[in-house]
Structure 1
Amino acid sequence: MLKINKTQVVIKRNLSDYNEEYFSVVTIGTFDGVHVGHKKIIKRLIESARANDLKATILTFFPHPRMVLQQDADLKLINTLDEKIAILEKTGLDVLVIHPFTKAFSRLSASEYVQEALVKNLNAKKVIIGYDHRFGRNRTATIKDLQVYGETYGFEVEEISAEEINEVSVSSTKIRKALAEGDIKTANEFLGYEFMLNGVITKGKGLGRQIDFPTANLYIEEKYKLIPKDGVYVVKSILDDREVFGMMNIGYNPTVNGVKKSIEIHFFDFDEDLYGKKIQIDMLTRLRNEQRFDSIDMLQQQLKKDKLNALAFINAQ
């Protein structure tokens, strides 16, 4: 007889790694962005788990299925895997399973998928899922099929209706579009938090320091991470345990004939060595497009205006 109990949050990188002998309530999805719509579903998951003494469990996948099945190398994601894990950990769920998505996994029949993932590994007693959820080989099985499997294997299926999903009117696709257009305000509203970039500070050419605007160059290892539209943004970060604001340029530095895209941050009231450190940049708003200036002096004058505009935005918050 399986035990029904509560334990601390566990994170597993494969379904086969999860061998806890507890019943669970499960929701399934890619959860890119972990936006306000996702959080509504997760809240429902957790409330159901608490009411029925089950484990609130999320099953997600990496890489994104489109990257594997459609070989969509151009698909950029709102979150890196580490970012998504960090956000999901704060939601209050009990179990996060990140299963590797492969072509072999995609070829599991609906019956094999249900038996292996939901019944054998996750011990599902309840599955909370969207009305349009499809699964199994070629994604031919529907929520009606899942309900039939539930009757066979002893788990309940709770449907999230079209009305509930449309009520939120948020999608990862809409957020990606907003970011691609540089519309940070809309993206942040949909996300429910500031869009973030995580990376390591590397050495640049040092031009910024020569014009009194030293910058930290951010290198992001994950090539699938979505980078917003080129331009100048107001940002913040936690450096040496304190909140520091600044402005960030994404682009090619056309004034100095740059050929490689870079992400450079000028922090206000902070001039300590950050080389080699991993930091998180939270993006607050967009100031302007990247521009080419006729001289370094003109660039410097514009940067001074940008700083004034950035500080005005920060002070108005």
Structure 2
Amino acid sequence: MITIQNISKFDNQQPTAVTIGTFDGVHIGHRKLLDRLINDAKLLNLKATVLTFFPHPRMILQQDANIKLLNTIDEKIKILENIGLDYLMIYPFSKEFSRLSATDFVESILVKGLASKKIIIGYDHRFGRNRNADIKDLISFGKIYSFEVEEIPAQEIDEVSVSSTKIRKALEEGDITTANAYLGYNYMLTGTVIHGKGLGKQLSFPTANIHIEENFKLIPLNGVYVVKSEIDNATVYGMMNIGFNPTVSGKEKSIEVHFFDFDQDLYGKKIQIDILERLRDEHKFNSVEELKKQLEQDKKTSLSLIAKP
């Protein structure tokens, strides 16, 4: 898959089959649509292309500071890389772009920019300035500019939107099992390892403190989770705490990972944490010694879960 963020660099000598959307989470509902795109593209000798936008339109048009997304743009690229797409076109969303008329969008982006010969889109898709054009307009444009439009029925679109809603709700409730089932992969957090207060080291449970730059990334419910990560081409398991460290009167929310049987300097490294299971809520213990005993129990439980086939 080739990722492009400037449409002028797209090779429009190759005709494409295109689908359009934010595809947040790239979950099992999205995968049905993407699989159809890829199969149709092969049959018609077209290049399977996803047109997506970043930043998210709500960030620009509504200046929505509270929006929470399942993927950062880098995570989305990583997930899409392995499913068989030819191109991922990430178009920079701006207020100026949002004011493009439907005609200009179709002509400059879909026809001239992407050389679209087939467009697979949902029945409720709207586009153009003030989102005033719909699939009927797109079909009319197709007759003018010689591209086919395939409509995704309401039932399938509803399945996609319900999945996204359920994933967000599940993560907010700490139900990582349901979230992972709907995603079709383990929910991930990606960030840079920074220096913490060193409490974990004092407890013989040194942790990697993860700083996530993107404030729109959805962080699951506070608590303790079983996790894994790929570090220097090796799979490393561990347990992660999301929360405020109430036992030691922590004031700021942190994400801390203790990796099992691992002793390597990770400061400054960007790593991906895959969340496998949720162990428990975050608790305030009566003493640091009591906390240490619980951490030992958490490790034992984590290792037994990891050992399961």
Counterpart CA distance in 2 for 1:72 and 1:164 is 28
Aligned partners of 1:146 and 1:157 also within 8 Å: yes
> Is 2:123 the partner of 1:141?
no
Aligned counterparts, 1:226-305, within 5 A: 226-305=218-297
Counterpart CA distance in 2 for 1:52 and 1:226 is 38
Counterpart CA distance in 1 for 2:161 and 2:20 is 19
Please give the secondary structure, in 2, of the residue aligned with 1:171.
helix
1:166, distance to aligned residue in structure 2 (A): 4.1
Counterpart CA distance in 2 for 1:281 and 1:143 is 39
Give the paired residue count: 309
Pick from 17, 20, 23: which aligns with 2:15? 23
Structure 1: gaps spanning 5 or more residues: 1-8
What one-letter code is carried by the residue in structure 2 that aligns with 1:140? Answer: N
What one-letter code is carried by the residue in structure 2 that aligns with 1:244? Answer: V
Counterpart CA distance in 2 for 1:109 and 1:174 is 34
**How far does the alpha carbon of each residue in 1:264-314 deviate from its partner, in whole angstroms, 9 at most, with x for none?**
011111122222222111000111111111110111111112112212221
The share of aligned pairs that are identical, in percent, is 63
Counterpart CA distance in 2 for 1:154 and 1:20 is 15
Mean Cα displacement is larger for which, 73-82 or 173-182?
A: 173-182
Aligned partners of 1:170 and 1:190 also within 8 Å: no
What one-letter code is carried by the residue in structure 1 that aligns with 2:89? Answer: V
Pick from 290, 300, 309: which aligns with 1:308? 300
Pick from 42, 53, 59: which aligns with 1:50? 42
> Is 2:61 the partner of 1:69?
yes
Aligned partners of 1:36 and 1:170 also within 8 Å: no
1:170, distance to aligned residue in structure 2 (A): 4.5
Aligned counterparts, 1:98-137, within 5 A: 98-137=90-129
Match for residue 195 of structure 1? 187
Please give the secondary structure, in 1, of the residue aligned with 2:25.
coil
Mean Cα displacement is larger for which, 256-265 or 14-23?
A: 14-23
Mean Cα displacement is larger for which, 15-24 or 99-108?
A: 15-24
Counterpart CA distance in 2 for 1:240 and 1:171 is 33
1:169, distance to aligned residue in structure 2 (A): 6.9
What one-letter code is carried by the residue in structure 1 that aligns with 2:186? Answer: E
Match for residue 155 of structure 2? 163
Change (3 A) 1:38 1:69: same
Counterpart CA distance in 2 for 1:96 and 1:273 is 35
1:242, distance to aligned residue in structure 2 (A): 1.7
1:241, distance to aligned residue in structure 2 (A): 2.2
Aligned partners of 2:12 and 2:112 also within 8 Å: no
What one-letter code is carried by the residue in structure 2 that aligns with 1:234? Answer: V
Pick from 9, 15, 38: which aligns with 2:30? 38
TM-score by length of 1: 0.94
Please give the secondary structure, in 1, of the residue aligned with 2:13.
coil
Counterpart CA distance in 2 for 1:68 and 1:15 is 20
1:163, distance to aligned residue in structure 2 (A): 2.5
What one-letter code is carried by the residue in structure 2 that aligns with 1:255? Answer: T
1:145, distance to aligned residue in structure 2 (A): 1.0
- When the two chains are superposed, the root-mean-square deviation of aligned CA atoms in Å is 1.4
